[in-house]
Amino acid sequence: MTRTPPPPYVPGHGLLAGRTAVITAAAGAGIGGATARRFLEEGARVLLSDAHTRRLKETETALAAAFGADSVAAQTCDVTDEAQVQALYDTAVRLHGRLDITVNNAGLGGTADLADMTDEQWNRVLDVTLGGTFRCTRAALRRFRDTGTGGVVVNNASVVGWRAQTGQAHYAAAKAGVMALTRCAAAEAAAYGVRVNAVSPSLAMHPHLAKVTTTELLDELTAREAFGRYAEPWEIANVIVFLAGDYSSYMTGETVSVSSQHA
């Protein structure tokens, strides 16, 4: 299969100028970190969060050096802890006086056949991936509703939520749940001018994924892609920017597949 190279990096166009965003799992070089950089390039102020304090601080320092300390802040948050989630959103409002966008990127995977999967494995993936998205969406919606200024939620789902993959029952169930949560939250939040959508990537490569996935599986997944390559994290972030901005003003309750997989 011919491998099509990634396209040139797209420059910012001020699509999120003046807006404040919370982005979970934003440390490092994955989709969250790429989204934070893209949001800053588009003029947003960003509050980064992650459960990994050291990596989060490193990301904050690098982005503050590139975009200015006034545009970037960071706060450690374990999305399975309700008190930490509430503190995160309180900080966003305290720092900037408002909240406009939340990107729920935190998730946890793993590989185990269902017959051998433990309750602990199942519950941990569901609690981080689906439960964390629920807690952060709830926290954002309460603030959007109380202020009456509207807002946007973008959740990170996965094509695995639609398609079967061995060893991924817990992750697939969680991501399918994220899609259902997105639809229901959108139906409720429309009454106070809030949009809720999701992206559903197939394969975006980053260092953490390479550490927890075998080379054989990555090769197999890459072979399914029409372009013969995985997505760069910033290619997923571009679609998140679209869903967070005004060009998607009539979209809510949708899950957008960001994939080149063969049908």
- The catalytic residue positions are 171
Q: What are phi and psi of 140, to 5 degrees?
A: -70, -45
CB 101 within 8 A of CB 151: yes
Closest CA relative to residue 21, chosen from 52, 67, 58: 67
Distance from first CA to last CA of the chain, Å, rounded?
Answer: 16
- Burial (0-12, 13-18, 19+ Cβ within 10 Å), 234: buried
CB 48 within 8 A of CB 73: yes
Q: Give the whole-angstrom CA distance, residue 252 versus residue 197.
A: 5
